[in-house]
Amino acid sequence: MTPLPRPFHRLLAAATTSNLADGLVLVGAPLLALELTREPALIGGVQAAFTLPWLLFALTAGALADRRARRRLLVGAAGARALVLVVVGTAALLGQLSLPLLYLAVVLLGCCEVLFDTTSQSLLPDVVGREQLGAANGRLIGVQTVLRNFAGAPLAGVLVGVAGAAVLLTPAALYLATAALLLGLPSAYTPAPRPPARLRADIREGGRHLFANPTLKAIALLGGALNLANAAYFGVFVLFVVGDDAPMGLPAAAYGGLAAVLAVGSVAGSLVAAPAERHLGARRTLLGGVLLCSAAMLVPLMTAALAPIVLVALVLGAGSVASNVVSVSSRQRIVPGAVLGRVNATFRLVGMGAMPVGALLGGLLASATSLQLTFAAAVLVQVVAVLLLHRPITDRALDPDQPREQQAGEMSEEGTDVATLAQAAPLS
């Protein structure tokens, strides 16, 4: 494979600074809220405010990404985040930070994140060749995992301990650095001009393109089902791990340790995704990763011993990220650039919209029954989703540009059912 081009390395550097800033904000904002209130509902509202823009603004962001110069959108989103944080950080420095101001800042930052993430996913096929998308996405997702989970979270705790304003002004500087790095990208990354249309018509066109393609539709619905199941499972998983009455009976600090192990697995998954796709094919890598995660999620039904649960965290991180890399890369190959922003936005809307529903259902089911039944139900949802949706997800559909002889050689494989796939992968 040819080396990744220089503009990609600039994009990767920008992802480094922006994801470190994201990690600081995601952890720092709730910590600041704790200094303003001890009401659990208000603290939880800060987290909800981060995801609300995905439900309200995602489709609009996709339409913008398909009509505006993508470099300009990225620079503007990074600069706007810096401005919001400077304003709120200055208020914190002067002792004027209030909970409503923090909520407003989080919503504005979330809107900028929606625009930034949607546009950057849509820009990548312009920066690297189609055969390089797997490797490029693997690096970007690896950087995101390391900086948000490893670096951002502990650094946010240190900065809050030094001064509340520091956890706001430091990411402001990082977002400014992101904007400066993105200014160095070529200005040619602009969607082709299209006839004027209402915003609503643009959004409908993206939805039609997604749901008219059987493979895209299947991946989107599968992603929604997986996010719903994972939110239900991991929304109550802390009750399995932490506390004297929990099956594992570990202290709260150990939960953070498991999250770090999950991040290690995620980094490994980001590195092996592209080689796995080349050797196993996109279908086996994507669906195999899902089934591998489903098998790992059954382990807490059988044991609460620490060593197997640590192994589960590693497998979950690797399997989920490998599947995600293939999903994103395949979408970038399949979807024409003129509509990619809106299709990406619709994908994210389906996925993000499923998460709060899953978390609510998981909590209700665990309260009414047990943790074990909730875990089993979440795994069942994942496996049933794969059984119902796997057929349109073929190597040929996921990578239309692969050599014809490879397509011909896989004709007998496209009818392979999930049971055969599960036997081929070490899932049992």
| Superfamily for domain range 200-428 | MFS general substrate transporter like domains (1.20.1250.20)
Nearest to 358 by CA among 233, 219, 221, 223: 233
Whole-prediction pTM value?
A: 0.79
In this structure, is the dihedral angle defined by the CA atoms of residues 275, 280, 281 and 287, taken in order, positive or negative?
A: negative
Eight-class DSSP state of 410: T
**Spatial separation of the C-alpha atoms in residues 226 and 356, rounded to whole Å:** 13
The matching CATH number, chosen from 3.40.50.720, 1.20.1250.20, 1.10.287.620, 2.60.40.1180, for 1-180 is 1.20.1250.20
**Spatial separation of the C-alpha atoms in residues 288 and 290, rounded to whole Å:** 5
Phi-psi region of 397 (alpha: psi -120 to 50; beta: other; left: phi over 0): alpha
Cβ atoms 378, 230 nearer than 8 A: yes
For helices 199-212 and 214-235, the axis angle rounded to 10 degrees is 90
Cβ atoms 60, 198 nearer than 8 A: no
Tell me whether the CATH fold assigned to 1-180 matches the one assigned to 200-428.
yes
Hey, which residues does 192 pair with through a beta bridge? none
Task: Show me where the domains of the chain are located.
Answer: 1-180, 200-428
**Spatial separation of the C-alpha atoms in residues 50 and 29, rounded to whole Å:** 10
pLDDT tens figures, 80-129: 999 999 999 999 999 999 999 999 999 999 999 999 999 999 999 989 98
Cβ atoms 316, 237 nearer than 8 A: no
**Spatial separation of the C-alpha atoms in residues 128 and 273, rounded to whole Å:** 17
**Spatial separation of the C-alpha atoms in residues 169 and 150, rounded to whole Å:** 20
pLDDT value at position 188? 65
**Spatial separation of the C-alpha atoms in residues 405 and 403, rounded to whole Å:** 6
Write out the chain's pLDDT in tens, 428 residues: 678 899 999 999 999 999 999 989 988 888 888 888 877 667 767 877 887 888 889 999 999 999 888 999 999 999 999 999 999 999 999 999 999 999 999 999 999 999 999 999 999 998 998 889 999 999 998 888 888 767 776 788 788 877 889 999 999 999 999 999 999 988 766 776 767 767 788 889 889 999 999 999 999 999 999 999 998 898 888 889 888 889 999 887 687 678 778 888 988 999 999 999 999 999 999 999 999 999 999 999 999 999 999 999 999 999 999 999 999 999 999 998 889 999 999 998 998 888 888 888 888 999 899 999 999 999 999 999 999 999 999 999 998 876 544 443 443 333 333 322 223 332 22
R_g over Cα of the chain: 21
Cβ atoms 304, 375 nearer than 8 A: no
pLDDT value at position 192? 67
pLDDT value at position 415? 34
pLDDT tens figures, 387-418: 999 999 999 999 887 654 444 344 333 333 33
**SS3 helix, strand, coil % of the chain, rounded to 5?**
80, 0, 20
